Amino acid sequence: MGRQVVIDSILHGLRQPEYVHVLLNPVPVYGLLVSWIGLIIAFFLKSRRAQIATLALVFICALSAWPVYEFGQQAYDRVLSMTDEAGERWLDEHQDRGEDLIWIFYALAILSAAAIVLPIKWPKSSAPLLITVIVLGAVTLGAGGYIAYAGGRIRHREFRSEPPPPKRPEHEH
């Protein structure tokens, strides 16, 4: 009976977009960080197999921003109802940052896929593509941290060491 309660609880959580958003949101940041470090190591080792493996991980982690974004959008109203006024302003800031910067994750996913495929036909493209993925990966990690910074302040008062962003006019939600 205890196992069924746990399974039911997990299944219930997976039907709530805010839960799925929180469950997946480490992947585009922490998963990308780990795969990006692996890619740097693979670059210096000059191991094409390791490069392909880590590029695939970069691709998956960057692409995972899409469901995180979608579930976050779906969860907006429910999270809004659970937070205080400062949290509401951080929620709007988090949403705005995500909407403005999601494209960087998609660009990194496309570029990492290209870095896997293009060197098959053009082997000399491998190193420049890898370097470009590493640089864009760093930019993407910065963007992910910037988005997450606002997201962490929505419900966690202990992270609010500064005033919330200004309140947005109602039509901008």
Query: pLDDT, tens digit, for every residue of 73-85?
Result: 998 888 888 888 8
- The answer to the question of residue 18 being in a domain is no
Confidence at residue 172, expressed as pLDDT on a 0 to 100 scale:
53
Angle at 163 between CA 159 and CA 69, to 5 degrees: 60
Residue range(s) defining the domain that contains residue 128: 23-168
- pLDDT for residue 14 is more than 80: no
What value does the mean pLDDT take over residues 133-146? 97
Q: Is residue 6 part of a domain?
A: no
Q: Is residue 145 part of a domain?
A: yes
Asked if residue 4 is part of any domain, the answer here is no
Residue 8, domain member (yes or no)? no
pLDDT tops 60 at residue 4? yes
* 10 part of a folded domain: no
> Does 136 map to a domain?
yes
pTM: 0.86
Residue 115 included in any domain: yes
The model's pLDDT over 84-107, given as tens digits with 9 standing for 90+, comes to: 888 888 889 999 999 999 999 999
Provide the domain count of the chain.
1
